[in-house]
Amino acid sequence: MNKLSFFIFLTALAFINLGDKVARSEAPFKVPLQTRKEWNFEKEGVQFSNNFSGARLNDCTFLKDNVYVATITPENSPINRSPWYAFKITSQKKQSIEVRFLLTHPGAASKPNISFDGKKWKALEKDKWTAANSEKKTLASAQLEVGPNTIWVFAHHPVSLDDLNSWTNTLAKAPHTKITTIGKSLEGRPIKQLAIGNPDANNFVFILGRQHPPEITGSVGLMSFVDTIAMDSPLSKTFRNNFQTIVIPVVNPDGVEHGHWRSTLGGVDPNRDYGPFTQIETKAIRDSLATIAKLPKARVYLFLDFHSTFEDIFYTQRDEDQTFPLLFTKRWLNGIQEHFPDYVFKRDPGHNENLPTSKTWAYKTFGCAGITYEFGYNTSFEKVRVIASGAAEEMIKILVAETASR
């Protein structure tokens, strides 16, 4: 190749690389999509797979006899230390294997929940789980009995998009409930909104859920809370006659689908985007709720955002931060404590008040209490349902009394 030909070759290559960079920079996805695949270990007769909705498994290797390493990587970094993993294993024969969890980002792999049909779940036995030890430089590991049926291995008992859609569609059949689509995610999934109650009522409660995909107990709490509002009781009927409850059960459906730890496909934590509103999902929330709040005589009494973390806790404004109704948060949490005198929960007033979270946006925009309602990752579903239902009852009592006095 002469010098002129070589120069032309380098110039063409540069333009190709530049074109690739431009194409990538204009692509709407700001995080790499997880590769869906199967890892086949033919000699051992074992297969690992992440080829299903909600899965998270980035690589899998065979280490030695009956020992496999599952590599778990978040969608982007930096990111919260709340690792999510989900995969399934098939084996041609019954055998015991060890799976070690290699996290490429700081965090601790939680003891898995397992299922043999993808429907019924149970926590892995304590004696079959070993937590990671940083001093000994050992990975967390699970001893699993596999084959011949598929075994599902998840960081937490899942609540999938299908589960939430089924719940939403069932609830929408009630005469006092209307379902609409207020927008679509970056990948085109619908963002659904439920309106529960008297369509002529001017009083509103706003509820969000599943901004962060792994926060399963938050979804369970939201469903139980909303089910109590929708139930056929005199108290709930009175509430629905005077209020409309607006529920958006899944803010980040793409994140749930792709097994993200936290972010949208746009690479942003949605609960840090209520201000910039860079994401198509948070823009849809803003536009819908703000439009409702601007209706004639409309008044927003409460904004709740359901999440999960390492403990049961409420993130709120301070009591000296005036809200409508006055001191609602203090009265509500006192009511919950009286309803469940043995229930241990915390309150963190002023939490992340300078960050663009949904609760801070709601407080500043609507003047109501904006509350992030967090359940522990490991709080049992049964307890979450009971507590969330009781919390809904206490909310209803306060707000019904407020409207009766006006």
Which residues make beta-bridge pairs with 39? 48
Share of the chain above pLDDT 70, in %: 93
Question: What is the C-alpha separation between 294 and 385, in angstroms, rounded?
Answer: 33
Q: How many CB atoms lie within 10 A of CB 183?
A: 18
Are 183 and 84 in a shared domain?
Answer: no
Final residue of a structural domain among 154, 174, 193: 154
Say whether pLDDT at 22 is over 90.
Answer: no
**282: number of CA atoms within 13 Å, CB side?**
25
If you write DSSP's letter for every residue of 198-215 in order, what string do you get? Answer: -TT--EEEEEEE-SSTT-
Which CATH number characterizes residue 42's domain? 2.60.40.3120
Residue 101, in any domain of the structure: yes
Same domain, 274 and 196: yes
- Verify that 337 and 233 share a domain, yes or no: yes
Tens-digit pLDDT profile for residues 59-98:
999 999 999 999 999 999 999 988 999 999 999 999 999 9
Structural domain contains residue 33: no
Decide which of 129, 154, 179 is a domain's last residue.
Answer: 154
User: Which helix (DSSP H) or strand (DSSP E) does residue 375 occupy?
Assistant: strand 369-376
The residue-averaged pLDDT of 97-125 equals: 95
Do 204 and 88 lie in a common domain? no
Residues 216 and 361 in one domain: yes
Rounded to 5°, the CA angle 316-272-21 comes to 175
- What pLDDT does residue 129 have? 98
Give the residue carrying structure tokens 């409930």: 177
201 inside domain: yes
Residues 193, 199, 202: CA angle, nearest 5 degrees: 100
Distance CA 54, CA 45 (A): 25
Contacts of 186 (CB under 8 A, 6+ apart): 28, 29, 254, 264, 265, 266, 279, 280, 281
CB atoms within 10 A of CB 35: 10
Cβ atoms of 188 and 352 closer than 8 Å: no
- CATH number, residue 392: 3.40.630.10
Is 6 among the domain residues? no
- Choose the final residue of a domain: 125, 154, 183: 154
- In tens, the pLDDT along 309-358 reads 999 999 999 999 999 999 999 999 999 999 999 999 999 999 999 999 99
Q: What is the pLDDT of residues 215-240, one digit of tens each?
A: 999 999 999 999 999 999 999 999 99
- pLDDT given for residue 250 in this prediction: 98
Q: How many structural domains is the chain composed of?
A: 2
Helix (H, G, I), strand (E, B) or coil at 281: helix
End-to-end CA distance of the chain: 88
Where do we find the tokens 């009927």? 237
The token pair at 147 is 């084959």
Q: Does residue 342 form part of some domain?
A: yes
Same structural domain, 173 and 305? yes
> Is residue 41 packed enough to be buried (19+ CB in 10 Å), middle (13-18) or exposed (0-12)?
middle
Integer CA distances (angstroms), 41 to 90, 95, 137, 159, 395, in order: 10, 14, 26, 30, 54
pTM score of the predicted model: 0.92
Both 372 and 242 in one domain: the answer is yes
Question: Is 31 part of any domain?
Answer: no
Residue 171: beta bridge partners?
none
Answer yes or no: is pLDDT of 15 > 50: no
Q: Please tell me whether residues 219 and 346 are part of one structural domain.
A: yes
The answer to whether residues 137 and 236 belong to one domain is: no
Check residue 318 and give its pLDDT: 97
Q: Has residue 1 got a pLDDT over 50?
A: no
Angle between helices 358-366 and 280-293 (to 10 degrees): 20
In a domain, 7, yes or no: no
Q: Which residues pair with 219 in a beta bridge?
A: none
d(CA 158, CA 86): 9
Residues 238 and 137 grouped into a single domain: no
In a domain, 1, yes or no: no
Question: Is 264 in the same domain as 360?
Answer: yes
Do 125 and 111 form a contact (C-beta atoms < 8 A)?
Answer: no
Same-domain status, 269 and 120? no
Which residues form the domain of 285? 161-404
